[in-house]
Structure 1
C-alpha cells in the first residue's frame, strides 16, 4: 500500500496533492495561482495540517536544490511566503520551524540569487507579529550567516553589494524579531553583538561616501529597494539598534564597537571614530547617554599603556560626544569622572618628565591624601603633550555641562588633588617635577573656571571660595615656581570676578583717572563681608608674601595687582581698603630695601 501511495498520485495525502499542483510543468511560468488559492483554503481550514504541509514543501525544496532546479525552488519559497502571510493559527509555530529550515538551506547555497531570496523571505517573516511566544526557536545560524555576508569581498562589485545589502537586511530582521520579545533569544548577548556590530561598522566604513554619518545628528528615512546603498542601510540599522537599547544593554553595543575600532586601528586617524560616537549619542535615549561616556572612560583606562596618540584620539571623540550628550553627559558619578581624567593627566606628566622619559620604571605618584603607582614607558614627549592638552579640553567640555554649584565643587576637588612642593619632593625625590605637576594640573582647573563664568555671576564669595578651596589656593600661591604661581592667580581671578571687571584691569588702564575706569562696583553683602573678615587675614598675608618672592617676573607682579584690585572691587568695604593700605605701605619698605638695585623689576613696578 505504501508503494502505491508513492507511485500513484490518487493515493497520496490530499495536502501533498495540493502542494504538487502549485508547480507548473514549465518552471518559467511561475506559481499556479488558482491551485495556490486551493492550498491556502485547505491550510486555513485544517490548521492541524500546517506542520505536514511545511515539512513536505521543505522536502521538495531540498530535492530541487540538490538537482539544481533553482526555478522550482523559487516557486516553493513563494508558496511558503503566501502561507506564512495568510496563516495566523496557534499551530503556526510548527510551520515556522520548517520555514526557517528552508531559509537555512537557501542561505547555505552558493547561488547569490538564492541567498538574496532566502533573505527576503526572512525579512518578511520578521515583520510578522506572532500571537504566541516561542521558547525553543534559535537564530544563531542566521546571525552568523548574515554577518558573514556583510564581510563579503567578491571582486565583482555588483555581487558584493548585493550580498552585503542582503546581509544587512537579514541582521535588521533578526534584531526586529528578537529585540522586543523577552522570550526570544537574547540578542544583546555578547556572542551576538560581537558579530552584528562589527559587521555593520565594516559596511558603514567601506561605504562611507554613501552614508549619512557626517550628518549624525540629522534624521533620515529608511532607504528601500534593491538598489539601496549598503552603507545607508547599515547605518540605519545601527541607529535602530541603538535606539532600542536601555540602561542594561548600552554597554553590550558599545563594547564590540570599541573592540572593532581597536582591532582595525581606526583611532588614527580618528575621523571615523568621532562620527561613530556622534551617531551613538544621537541615537541612544538621552537618559542613557552618560552610560556611553562611562564606557569611553573605562576604555581609556584599558588602553592607559598604549600610544598617547591613540589615547588623544579617544579623548577627542569623547569631547565631541560630550557636546552632544550635554547635561546628561556625566550622570551621578561626577567626581569619579574627573578623578579618572586627573589620573591619566598625572600619569602623562610623569612620563613627560625628562628624568623618567627613557626609563620603564614604576614611580610613586603623589596625589593629595593618596598615592598611585605608575609604570612609565618611552613615548615621544610631543605626543604626551598633546594628550595632556586633550585631557584639559575634555575637562573643560565636561565642566560646560555642569550647573554652577557643581562646577565649584569640581574645582574644589581638583584643587585639593594638586600636591604641594613638599609632597612632590618626598614622593619623587626630584625638583624638576615639582613645577611640572602643579602647572599641568592647573590647566584643567583654568579651563573649568572659564566654563563657569556665566553661572557664577551674583554668587556669594562663600559659595565660590569655601574654606577648603581657599586653603588649597593659598598653599599653591607660595610655590617656588613662577609659572605655577601665575596660573593659580589666573584661576583665582576667575573665581573672584563676579561683575566682569577683569578685562578692564589691564596695564594700560592702571594709571588712568578713576572716572575712566568704568568698573562695575556694587555694595558688598553682609555674607561676603563676614567671609572676608574670617578668611582675610590668611589671604592678605599670603598676598604680601607672594609680593616678596625675589624671583617674581613682571607677569607675576601684575597678576598680584589684579588679585588685590578684584578683592577691593568685590568686597567694597572700608575695612578691606585699610588692610590693603597697610600692605602697600609695608611693601614700599620692602621695595626700598630689596628692589632698587634690580632695574628690570623696579621698572615693572613703576
Structure 2
C-alpha cells in the first residue's frame, strides 16, 4: 500500500500538504502559505493529526540520514507550529508522541547543531499545556541525554552545548511537574543525573569567572537576570542557577530529600566543604530562598544529619559544614521551631564529641578541632538569633542542663569534663548575647540562676569570667554595658549617657528573693580571684555587675544591700589577716570606689558624692600609684612626699570610705540604714535552694574557701556549731516592704502564755501591726529564741518537753479529745439545742449586732 504513495495522484491529501511545505530550492525556507493550509487541514481534521506527525518524522529521519539539514529544520519548524496550533486537539497526545520521537532522533544524531535544534523544540513542547493526560510517556532518555550535554567539554562548542543541556533539563522539570501523572521525575535515578549536572555547571562557572569576594556577596553567583534571553544562551553558570532555583521551587516537602541527597554527595565528591566554603554557602542560600518558608527547617535538618555522617571525617570538612550551617540558619527564621530542641541537641552532641576527641591521644590536629568547636558555637549563636525570645530561653536552659558538674568526677574524666564545661559556658554566653531580657524572672529561673551562681565559683578562671559576662548581657536591658565594662572614676556620670528607668514591681519581687544568693556569690567571687594578669579584668567584670544591679533594680532596699556589700569588700581588702597580695587589695579598693562614685551620683546625694570624691582625691594624692583613679585630673603630690602603703590605709587617714558618714548621708535622704551597720556575714540562710542541689552549695563563711575545698576533696566531716543553727522559717508575704523585717515562727515550739503567740486583744493586735519593727532587735530576739530552743533540746529529756507541749495544748488524752468531738456533734445534742430555741424565727441579718472585735 505504501508503494502506491510514490505516485502523486494516489497520495493522501495530508501527505500532499506536508510535501508542499518544502521548497523546491534548497536555500529557501518553509513555505508559509502551504504551512497555513496544512495547519487548517490539521485543525479541521483532528483524526489526521497523528498521521501528519508520523509522515513528518518519516521525512525528517530520511533527510537526517542524508544530511539534508535544511529539510530537517523545515520539518522541525512545521512540527512546532502544528503543536502550538493544535494544543487543544483531541489527537494531541498521539501527535506529541511523534514529536518526541523526532526530538529523540535529533538528539541521537550527536550533531551539535541538531542537538541544539532538538533542545529548542523540546523547550517549546514543555511550555504547552495539554488537556488530555498521557499515561505512558517517559522522559528517561531525555534526562540522560540532556545531562550528558551539560558535561560537554570536548570541542569548541562546549558552552553552547551545556546551555542547551540545561535548558533541556529545565524543560523536563517544567513538563513533569505541571503534569500530575508524571511524578517519576523525583525518583533517585533521575535526580542523580539532574542535580549533579546543574551543580557541575554552577561551580565550574564559579571557578572560572567569579572571585572569592564576589561569591561572598552572592551577587554574581546567584542573581536573577533581567534579560534572560540574551544572557542564558552564553552563560551556563547563570542558567544553572535558574535551573536549581526552579527545581527547588517546584519540589514538594516529600520530594526534597531526593534533591538534597545527590546535592550533598556532589559537594563531598568535589571537596566543596573545604574552608572557606563559599560555593556551598551560596548554594544553600539559593536553596533556602527558593523553597517555601515552612520547609526551610528540613534543609537545616538534612545538613545536620550530613554532619552526623561526616563526624569521623577530616576536621576541615566538618568546619566547612558548620560554617555553612552558621551562615544559612538565620534565613530559615522561625520555621525551625518544631525541631528546636532536636537540632540544638544535635549541635551540642557534636560539640561534646569534638571536645572528647580533642582530649584523646588520637586527635591529629587539635587546632582544627578548636576551630570546629568555635564554628559550632557561632552556629548555635546564629541559630538562637533567628528564634523568638521564649525559644532562646529554652535553648539557654537546655545548654545549662548539659553543663557537667565537677563534684563527683574521677581523675580520668575530670579533664574532659572541665574542658567541656568551658566550651559549653562559651556556648551559653553566645546564646545569651542574642537574648533581650524583659523581666528578670523570665530568664533567671531557680535552676538556671543556681547553675550560673555555681559556675561563677568554678575552679577554671575563664569559666568564672564567661559566667560574669553572661550576667552582664542578661542584666543589661538598656545597652549600658559598653559604658560600664571599663569604667573609670567619672567626675560626672552624665557623660556616660546611661539609661536609667524605674525598677518594675516584678523585678523587685524577684531580686528581693535572690538578693542574698547573688550578693553572696559576688563576695565569694572577689575572695576566690587569685593573682595574675587578668585579675583587673575579672574584678572589673564584678564591678560592672554591681553597677548594672544599681541601674536595673535600683530600689532602696537593693541599693542599701549593694552599699553593704561594697563596704564589706573594703573591709576584706583592708583586713591584714587576709593572705592576699597588695595588688589585689588595691584593685578591690578601686572597684569599691568606682561603684560608690557611680551609685552616689545616680542617687543624687551631694553629701555622699562629696565624701566619695574626697576619698578618691586623697588616694590619688597620698595613696599608692595603682589607686590613682583620676590621674591627669587631680594634681599629684609633691616630689619626695612619702605615699601611704595599702596596709597603712584606714578611715582616720581619710583613705577609706567611712561607714558612719555613708550611713548619715543615706539616712538624711530618708532611707533606713539599719542594715548598713550589720556586717556582711554568711549563714545557713545563704545556701542555694533545693533546685540547685545538683551543684556544689555555697560555703558558710567567706573566709572558709580553703577549708571547704579541702574537706570536699578529702571527704572530711566538719563539726557544726549548734548555736549558729537557725530553726525558724520566714512567713512574710512576697509584697512585704522589707525582707529584713520579717515575721518568723519557731519550727519546734513557741511557749507563749496564750499558746498561739498572738496578742490577747484587738487593740494589742492593732498596735503590733502598726508598730515598725526594728530589724536589728528582731534578728537579735529570734537568735535568742533559737538559742533557747536548742538549749532545751540539748539539756532536757524529750519526754519532759513532750509532756509540757501536751499540757499547754490540752491534747494529751486523745480518747478524751475524740469523745468531746463526738459528743459535740451528736444527734441528741443538736435536737436538744433545736428544742431550746422553740422554733423561733431566725433574726434578720440587719438586726444582728456584730461584736466589738469585728469593728475597726
**TM-score normalised to structure 1 length:** 0.87
Aligned 8 A contact 1:477 1:546 in 2: yes
Aligned 8 A contact 2:570 2:588 in 1: no
Farther-moved stretch of structure 1 (577-586 vs 271-280)? 577-586
The 5 Å alignment of 1:218-257 reads: 219-225=224-230, 227-257=233-263
Offset, 1:558: 3.4
Match of residue 749 from structure 2: none
Offset, 1:545: 3.3
Query: Is structure 2 residue 15 aligned with structure 1 residue 16?
Result: yes
Match of residue 175 from structure 1: 173
Counterpart CA distance in 1 for 2:23 and 2:252 is 51
1:235-290 C-alpha deviation (Å, 9 max, x unpaired)? 22222223333433344333322221111111224121122122223333334333
Match of residue 108 from structure 1: 108
* Cα separation, partners in 2 of 1:518 and 1:10, compared to 1, 3 Å: closer
* Cα separation, partners in 2 of 1:542 and 1:22, compared to 1, 3 Å: same
Query: Is structure 2 residue 450 aligned with structure 1 residue 451?
Result: no
The 5 Å alignment of 1:522-601 reads: 522-549=501-528, 551=530, 554=535, 555-580=537-562, 583=565, 591=573, 592=575, 595-601=578-584
Aligned 8 A contact 1:210 1:229 in 2: no
Match of residue 119 from structure 1: 119
Residue 116 of structure 2: SS of its match in structure 1? Answer: helix
Farther-moved stretch of structure 1 (593-602 vs 474-483)? 593-602
- Flag the structure with larger Rg: 2
Residue 132 of structure 2: SS of its match in structure 1? Answer: coil
Counterpart CA distance in 1 for 2:40 and 2:552 is 89
The 5 Å alignment of 1:292-331 reads: 292-325=299-332, 327-328=333-334, 330-331=336-337
Match of residue 495 from structure 1: 474
Offset, 1:550: 6.0
Counterpart CA distance in 2 for 1:516 and 1:232 is 55
Match of residue 416 from structure 1: 401
* Cα separation, partners in 2 of 1:385 and 1:177, compared to 1, 3 Å: same
Aligned 8 A contact 1:290 1:330 in 2: yes
Residue 451 of structure 1: SS of its match in structure 2? Answer: coil
Match of residue 69 from structure 1: 68
Match of residue 470 from structure 1: 449
Find 1:264's aligned residue among 270, 274, 280.
270
Higher relative contact order (CA 8 A, sep 6+): 1
Residue 548 of structure 1: SS of its match in structure 2? Answer: helix
Counterpart CA distance in 2 for 1:520 and 1:330 is 35
Find 2:341's aligned residue among 335, 343, 354.
335
Counterpart CA distance in 2 for 1:576 and 1:277 is 51
Aligned 8 A contact 2:485 2:541 in 1: no
Residue 479 of structure 1: SS of its match in structure 2? Answer: coil
Counterpart CA distance in 1 for 2:371 and 2:513 is 42
Aligned 8 A contact 1:5 1:11 in 2: yes
Aligned 8 A contact 2:222 2:238 in 1: no
* Cα separation, partners in 2 of 1:69 and 1:527, compared to 1, 3 Å: same
Farther-moved stretch of structure 1 (442-451 vs 104-113)? 442-451
* Cα separation, partners in 2 of 1:97 and 1:410, compared to 1, 3 Å: same
Residue 134 of structure 1: SS of its match in structure 2? Answer: coil
Offset, 1:227: 4.7
* Cα separation, partners in 2 of 1:135 and 1:547, compared to 1, 3 Å: same
Counterpart CA distance in 2 for 1:185 and 1:240 is 16
Aligned 8 A contact 2:358 2:369 in 1: yes
Aligned 8 A contact 1:106 1:115 in 2: yes
Match of residue 195 from structure 2: 197
Match of residue 776 from structure 2: none
Counterpart CA distance in 1 for 2:496 and 2:447 is 34
Counterpart CA distance in 1 for 2:474 and 2:183 is 56
Farther-moved stretch of structure 1 (406-415 vs 220-229)? 220-229
* Cα separation, partners in 2 of 1:10 and 1:520, compared to 1, 3 Å: closer
* Cα separation, partners in 2 of 1:321 and 1:514, compared to 1, 3 Å: closer
Counterpart CA distance in 1 for 2:74 and 2:179 is 32
Residue 433 of structure 2: SS of its match in structure 1? Answer: helix
Query: Is structure 2 residue 437 aligned with structure 1 residue 432?
Result: no
Counterpart CA distance in 1 for 2:229 and 2:490 is 72
* Cα separation, partners in 2 of 1:195 and 1:4, compared to 1, 3 Å: closer
Counterpart CA distance in 2 for 1:95 and 1:106 is 17
Report the number of matched residues.
575
The 5 Å alignment of 1:23-172 reads: 23-87=22-86, 88-156=88-156, 159-172=157-170
RMSD (Å), alpha carbons: 2.8
* Cα separation, partners in 2 of 1:75 and 1:469, compared to 1, 3 Å: same
Query: Is there any run of 5+ residues in structure 1 with no aligned partner, and where?
Result: 360-377
Match of residue 370 from structure 1: none
Find 2:366's aligned residue among 381, 394, 399.
381
Counterpart CA distance in 2 for 1:563 and 1:594 is 27
Aligned 8 A contact 1:210 1:232 in 2: no
Aligned 8 A contact 1:524 1:572 in 2: yes
Match of residue 293 from structure 2: 286
Match of residue 273 from structure 1: 280
* Cα separation, partners in 2 of 1:471 and 1:217, compared to 1, 3 Å: farther
Aligned 8 A contact 2:159 2:234 in 1: no
1:101-142 C-alpha deviation (Å, 9 max, x unpaired)? 111111011211111111111111111111122221111111
Match of residue 350 from structure 1: 356
Counterpart CA distance in 1 for 2:258 and 2:577 is 67
Residue 185 of structure 2: SS of its match in structure 1? Answer: coil
Match of residue 439 from structure 2: 460
* Cα separation, partners in 2 of 1:412 and 1:68, compared to 1, 3 Å: same
Counterpart CA distance in 2 for 1:115 and 1:52 is 25
Counterpart CA distance in 1 for 2:367 and 2:540 is 31
1:407-428 C-alpha deviation (Å, 9 max, x unpaired)? 22322221222111136x34x7
* Cα separation, partners in 2 of 1:10 and 1:210, compared to 1, 3 Å: farther
